[in-house]
């Protein structure tokens, strides 16, 4: 518990009861892709009651501080990824599952010119899949 509080403080955040519970569960489940709703179900199964809005706000804060990555699969669906290594994703629309793709498995032959005054920060690929 002390380690989690220290990690939260290192992110320059206050170790609130809710944030500690969220970080603890994320640490327990390891590399995972979660939505706020999915994490809410996991927390509820552990008798931890935190509103989905609070979970969503905390996940966004953690992503903004570099503890999680955001994966946007469409305008209405955002996932949070604990795997911080550079990689891409398959998104199965039917099962609503995200699967990691190693970055070395995708090659880019040519990128468009970066707008003036900007530099490339990252490339995020989400490949949507469904049953044949």
Domain count for the chain, please give it: 2
Domain's final residue, options 44, 65, 80: 80
The reply to whether 7 and 58 lie within a common domain is yes
Q: State residue 75's pLDDT score.
A: 81
The predicted pLDDT at position 81 comes to 96
**pLDDT digit string, tens, across residues 6-54:** 999 999 999 999 999 999 999 998 889 999 999 999 999 999 999 999 9
The reply to whether 58 and 89 lie within a common domain is no
44, 93: one domain: no
pLDDT 10s digits, 84-120? 999 999 999 899 899 999 999 999 999 999 999 999 9
**Pair 122, 92 in one domain:** yes
Task: Tell whether 59 and 105 lie within a shared domain.
Answer: no
Tell whether 63 and 7 lie within a shared domain: yes
**Domain harbouring 40, CATH code:** 1.10.10.10
CA distances from 132 to 12, 49, 92 (A): 47, 40, 12
Residue 1 has a pLDDT of 63
Question: Quick one: 23 and 73 in the same domain?
Answer: yes
What does the DSSP assignment read for 23-77?
HHHHHHH-S-EE-HHHHHHHHHHTT----HHHHHHHHHHHHHTTSSEEEEEETTE
Q: Are residues 9 and 52 in the same domain?
A: yes
Which of 80, 103, 121 lies at the terminal end of a domain, its last residue? 80
9 and 55 housed in the same domain:
yes
Domain region containing 51: 2-80
Same domain, 7 and 68: yes
- Please tell me the distance from the alpha carbon of residue 42 to that of residue 30, in angstroms, as a whole number: 13
pTM over 0.95: no
pLDDT at 17: 94
How big is the CA angle at 81 (ends 123 and 28), to the nearest 5 degrees? 155
Which residues are within 8 A (CB) of 119 and not within 5 positions of it... i.e. 6 or more apart?
Answer: none
Degrees to nearest 5, angle at CA 59 with 55 and 61 = 115
């Amino acid at each position: 518990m002390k380690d989690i509080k220290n990690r939260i403080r290192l992110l320059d955040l206050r170790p609130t009861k809710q944030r500690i519970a969220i970080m603890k569960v994320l640490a327990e489940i390891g590399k995972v892709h979660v939505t706020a709703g999915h994490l809410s179900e996991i927390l509820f199964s552990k008798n931890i009651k935190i509103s989905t809005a609070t979970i969503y706000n905390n996940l966004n804060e953690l992503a903004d501080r570099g503890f999680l990555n955001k994966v946007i699969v469409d305008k209405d669906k955002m996932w949070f990824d604990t795997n911080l290594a550079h990689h891409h994703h398959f998104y199965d629309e039917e099962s609503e599952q995200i699967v990691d793709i190693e970055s070395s498995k995708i090659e880019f032959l040519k990128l468009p010119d970066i707008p003036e005054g900007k530099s490339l920060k990252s490339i995020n690929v989400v490949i949507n899949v469904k049953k044949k």
